[in-house]
Structure 1
Amino acid sequence: MPQNSDATSFSPMDTGHQGLWEGSGIRFTGYGHYFGSEEIHNESVENATTNAVEDRVIGGVGVRTRYRATDEETPVLMATRASRQALERAGVDASDIDLVVVSHWTDRNYVDEVGALTAAALGIKGPMAFEIAGSCAGYIQAVHTAAALLTSPAGYRRALVATTERVTRRVRPGSKGAMLVSDGAGACVMEATPGGASGLIDSVFHTDGSLAHMSVAGGEQGWVRSHPDLNDVALAHVRDAVEDLLARNKLTVDDIDWLIPHSGTEPLAKGIQHHLGADPGRVLTNLSFRGNVSSASIPTTVSELLERGVVAPGDLVLSPSIGGGVWCWGGLLYRI
């Protein structure tokens, strides 16, 4: 797609007094979602094998239904399905996309890049498409990255962000952890009109590799193992991200219409609500009926809530997340 000659028309942002993307004209114009085709209803948690660390991190699970993808439902297929829905709702064709950013970590390959393969499956050939691996915070990382490129001199004006995870392959079968996670994909279309009204107001994203031991996926099967203090460390970082976004935009949590976090686990979801002092009626997640879909949790939640009319265009939303056992974390402040 031809690059726009006014690509350098964005003015520098004063992040001490306003959102990083305020005035950039970046809007979310369409969302989509897709879940693995096998729906599983959780039985009593007592039937699952567990250990002391899992009990502390996961708690009572709090997931009623979860979804598992078949072997044919690959990360690329799921990302493609969610992306097509997002494109349709945005009213744009795949040929209108200048940039594709795909968040994915659960089926890592040495070659065959999920970002490029997703773009090709959509018929997008030529524009830059790439994959990131921020684990559960991958959606924040993808939107943050796409926004930076949409406001760069490269001239990109329309980006597709997709998240796609088969988390069920990263947990021990029959465990309490297996009752927590799901497979699925979420997507959104981001459009930038310099000088126009902004949907994306601000974002933060941080990393600290010294915290990588809080959650690791290793061994022959690549199953996730968590540190017992995971939730405590995660809550501290979520709080920091939220306080950072609120302070530099001169807002309080009461000014936010909806808090849509990546909740991850039941103890983490309850902790976020308690630590931030948010009205429980304004904290929205899909954890109880969709499970932990890792980086797809936030966009699938927004997509489904829009579809059901729970949230509406213009609503002010704050979405924090932690990922990879807290080695990365961040948040988004935006209007639907």
Structure 2
Amino acid sequence: MPGTRITALGHYQPAKVLTNEDLAALVDTSDEWIRSRVGIHTRHVAGPDEPVDELAAHAAGKALAAAGLTPADIDLVIVATSTSVDRSPNTAARVAARLGMEAPAVLDLNVVCAGFTHALATADHTIRAGAATRALVIGADKMTEVTDWSDRTTCVLVGDGAGAVVVEATDDEPGIGPVLWGSVPSMGHAVRIEGSPPRFAQEGQSVYRWATTQLPPIARAVCAKAGVTPEELDAVVLHQANLRIIEPVAQKIGAVNAVVARDVVESGNTSAASVPMALSKLLARGEVASGDRALLFAFGGNLSYAGQVVRVP
């Protein structure tokens, strides 16, 4: 079976920016409290007339343009999201309609914060098996729509956005390494989007302890499956949950020569959008170059995790 590679990236965020000072006017918090505990300075917020599929379509359009492709070149669309409002049409179908596609396979995938890395693996497997030739893989979430704005422990975390990649087959060395994925179902209650209307809640200390102690060896195992050592990585792109999780986990992985994505500082926790958006920004700013090895590793809701080493397009 052929290998696959990422050929282009794109990201999109709504124009409205919510600062820590803005949040201090809503709940009992402060800029110092937020920065010291989660490292976030700002986040982007979509309006009521900006649904998840619109965010996703903007990012997808940018990825297509960067790849020099048209919507007709895509035969598979996978959208990782946990904040779509409607069950049908699914978000992927709505993105395909916005882009003017005619007959792609359209799949939504809900693994919450780990959704994008699961979706990337799904596209990799699908193309390798010959069921698709070229895929758009998108992580998009509108977390502000499921947020309790009276809960200062969660409302300070979230932001909205989307990131997208184009994935296609290659006869050269594969640009997407094997996935390592799993979950801890017995602790699935630690991160939740439940109820009617749905609301985001989490057990912050439990998530912090799990992430900082259990995930580093799993991330090193991802590197081993790809045949690289952590020291050979050029970039580490973790789920942008909280800077106080990202920094110790990155350190424990041992990627001493890698740039570590810290997009959470300006974007907050954008759930499934965070990994592709952070990687896209690293490339746009010239902090990574074509051919660099990047560890993508996401974790969160369900206490799911998934990661792979990829080559930057």
TM-score by length of 2: 0.90
Note if 1:65 corresponds to 2:42. yes
Q: Distance in 1 between matches of 2:118 and 2:36?
A: 27
1:311 aligned residue: 288
| 2:37 alignment partner, SS class | coil
| 1:89-238 equivalence runs, <5 A | 89-154=66-131, 156-174=132-150, 175-193=152-170, 195-227=171-203, 228-238=205-215
| 2:59 alignment partner, SS class | helix
Range 291-300 or range 235-244, more displaced: 235-244
Which amino acid letter does the alignment assign opposite residue 145 of structure 2?
R
Q: Distance in 2 between matches of 1:111 and 1:44?
A: 35
| 2:281 alignment partner, SS class | helix
Q: Distance in 2 between matches of 1:309 and 1:69?
A: 27
Q: Distance in 1 between matches of 2:57 and 2:210?
A: 34
TM-score by length of 1: 0.84
User: What per-residue deviation string (whole Å, max 9, x for no partner) do you get for residues 66-113 of structure 1?
Assistant: 110011111111111100000000011100001110011113433321
User: What per-residue deviation string (whole Å, max 9, x for no partner) do you get for residues 198-221 of structure 1?
Assistant: 211222222342221111122334
How many Å apart are 1:263 and its aligned residue?
A: 3.1
Range 304-313 or range 107-116, more displaced: 107-116
2:8 aligned residue: 30
Residues 1:335 and 1:112: Cα distance change in structure 2 (over 3 Å)? same
Note if 1:251 corresponds to 2:194. no
How many Å apart are 1:124 and its aligned residue?
A: 1.5
| 1:172 alignment partner, SS class | coil
Indicate the structure with greater helix content: 2
Residues 1:211 and 1:108: Cα distance change in structure 2 (over 3 Å)? farther
| 2:179 alignment partner, SS class | strand
Note if 1:296 corresponds to 2:280. no
Question: Contact 1:238/1:330 (CA < 8 Å) preserved in 2?
Answer: no
1:20 aligned residue: none
Question: Contact 1:29/1:189 (CA < 8 Å) preserved in 2?
Answer: yes
How many Å apart are 1:131 and its aligned residue?
A: 0.3
Q: Distance in 1 between matches of 2:44 and 2:14?
A: 5
Which blocks of at least 5 consecutive residues in structure 1 are unaligned?
A: 1-9, 11-23
Which amino acid letter does the alignment assign opposite residue 267 of structure 1?
R
Question: Contact 1:139/1:296 (CA < 8 Å) preserved in 2?
Answer: yes
Q: Distance in 2 between matches of 1:240 and 1:124?
A: 41
The Cα RMSD (Å) is 2.2
| 2:141 alignment partner, SS class | strand
Q: Distance in 2 between matches of 1:58 and 1:125?
A: 46
1:329 aligned residue: 305
Which residue of 249, 259, 263 maps to 1:286? 263
Range 215-224 or range 39-48, more displaced: 39-48
User: What per-residue deviation string (whole Å, max 9, x for no partner) do you get for residues 108-139 of structure 1?
Assistant: 43332111111121111212111001111011
How many Å apart are 1:31 and its aligned residue?
A: 0.7
How many Å apart are 1:251 and its aligned residue?
A: 2.8
How many Å apart are 1:230 and its aligned residue?
A: 1.1
Which amino acid letter does the alignment assign opposite residue 332 of structure 1?
Q
User: What per-residue deviation string (whole Å, max 9, x for no partner) do you get for residues 160-215 of structure 1?
Assistant: 0011100112222142422221111110100103x223211222222342221111
% of aligned pairs identical? 29
Question: Contact 1:237/1:322 (CA < 8 Å) preserved in 2?
Answer: no
Residues 1:183 and 1:252: Cα distance change in structure 2 (over 3 Å)? same
Question: Contact 1:237/1:329 (CA < 8 Å) preserved in 2?
Answer: no
| 1:32 alignment partner, SS class | strand
How many Å apart are 1:325 and its aligned residue?
A: 4.5
Range 183-192 or range 265-274, more displaced: 265-274
2:239 aligned residue: 262
Which amino acid letter does the alignment assign opposite residue 17 of structure 2?
E
Q: How many residues are matched? A: 306
Question: Contact 2:211/2:249 (CA < 8 Å) preserved in 1?
Answer: no
